[in-house]
Structure 1
Amino acid sequence: MKRLFLLLIGITLSCSTQKPKVSLEKGVGDTRTKPVALIDNNTYLLTEMSDDKTYGYDKSNPIKVGGVHDNTGPLNERRFLNALFGPHDKKMMYFRAGSCCPFATPNGFINNTGMLDRYRLTEIGTKDTIDIYINLYDTGDLKIPVGLKAKIKE
């Protein structure tokens, strides 16, 4: 029992003293200036097009959906993705391709660090895929990434 306790202390200390390499993203932390609207509980109402070609497509400029503090982060990611249509006005299929890219954020749980979620999107009827990077730690103004369209309120 004593050996197990010492082993756990050693693992805890080694994990807590190692800091991951983090990058600074544009606008660290919460930068949202506009309220978020919903079409329904599973879909955001996106009305503004981004003019920044890196928005969402580059890990240094992820989509900031927030939700880490109230456990709505994954739901917020789906709300954003459900609002997107492809360039040919068809629905997008998506799947979470994993987490990546540690970054500095005041909303991170460990050492003020967060991880991005990378989603792979495909417009129905095509084989072209794109990757979208989403930050569920911080909030920002939600926009439609360049080249995509958004679901309209019915």
Structure 2
Amino acid sequence: MIKNAIYLLFSFFIIGCVSTKSTLKNVDYKATKPKIEKGKYVITEYANDPKYGYNKEYPINIGFANLHSEEYFVKLFFNGLTNPEGDIFSYEKIETCCPFPSNHNKMGVGLLHKYRVTFNNGTTKDLYINLYEKGEILCPNGFKILAN
């Protein structure tokens, strides 16, 4: 009972904090997901916009994935990349943030997931990933597409 009341209160809080207009600038419902080969997305293009992935208004829109499959789709994305030197890196989800209106969630609200990437030399980069809306899946600046 208390758990349901807390969930309901949280839901009203989130919905009340979300504008009816999305702040996401790079949603593209016509975009198709990259092919999957050997446990990774086959990413073929580099992002032209330096904000892509780094700014909450320009997240990496993986699109239409439920929270139960978040880990799978995020892994496909990161497995398709290397650091600029061609080395593998580690990543972890550090935050869920930034509510926005979405028709792809029963509550009408989507959230961004912020991931921290750590390269072998200790350098870190934070990327925003969106599981609710679609867009082109590109290689962000500061990364390299993993060769097949």
TM-score, normalised with respect to structure 2? 0.82
Cα deviation for residue 9 of structure 1 reads 7.9
Q: Alignment partner of 2:133: what SS?
A: coil
- Cα RMSD between the aligned structures? 2.5
What residue in structure 1 maps to residue 73 of structure 2?
Answer: 76
CA–CA separation in structure 2 for the residues paired with 1:72 and 1:13: 24
CA–CA separation in structure 2 for the residues paired with 1:12 and 1:127: 38
Code of the aligned partner of 1:148: F
Measured at CA, do residues 13 and 114 of structure 1 come closer, stay the same or move farther in structure 2, by a change above 3 Å? Answer: closer
Q: Alignment partner of 1:72: what SS?
A: helix
What residue in structure 1 maps to residue 129 of structure 2?
Answer: 134
5+ residue gaps, structure 1: none
CA–CA separation in structure 2 for the residues paired with 1:72 and 1:60: 23
What residue in structure 2 maps to residue 145 of structure 1?
Answer: 140
Measured at CA, do residues 150 and 106 of structure 1 come closer, stay the same or move farther in structure 2, by a change above 3 Å? Answer: same
Cα deviation for residue 113 of structure 1 reads 0.7
Q: Are the counterparts in 1 of residues 26 and 59 from structure 2 also a CA contact under 8 Å?
A: no
Aligned length: 144
Measured at CA, do residues 84 and 113 of structure 1 come closer, stay the same or move farther in structure 2, by a change above 3 Å? Answer: same
Q: Are the counterparts in 2 of residues 64 and 138 from structure 1 also a CA contact under 8 Å?
A: yes
Measured at CA, do residues 27 and 109 of structure 1 come closer, stay the same or move farther in structure 2, by a change above 3 Å? Answer: farther
- Of the structure 1 ranges 127-136 and 8-17, higher mean CA displacement relative to structure 2 is found in 8-17
Cα displacement string for residues 113-144 of structure 1 (whole angstroms, at most 9, x for unaligned residues): 111111100122x1110001100112211100
Q: Are the counterparts in 2 of residues 65 and 73 from structure 1 also a CA contact under 8 Å?
A: no
Cα deviation for residue 95 of structure 1 reads 1.0
Q: Are the counterparts in 2 of residues 67 and 76 from structure 1 also a CA contact under 8 Å?
A: no
Q: 1:59 aligns with which of 56, 61, 77?
A: 56
Q: Alignment partner of 2:71: what SS?
A: helix
Bigger Rg, structure 1 or 2? 1
Measured at CA, do residues 122 and 11 of structure 1 come closer, stay the same or move farther in structure 2, by a change above 3 Å? Answer: closer
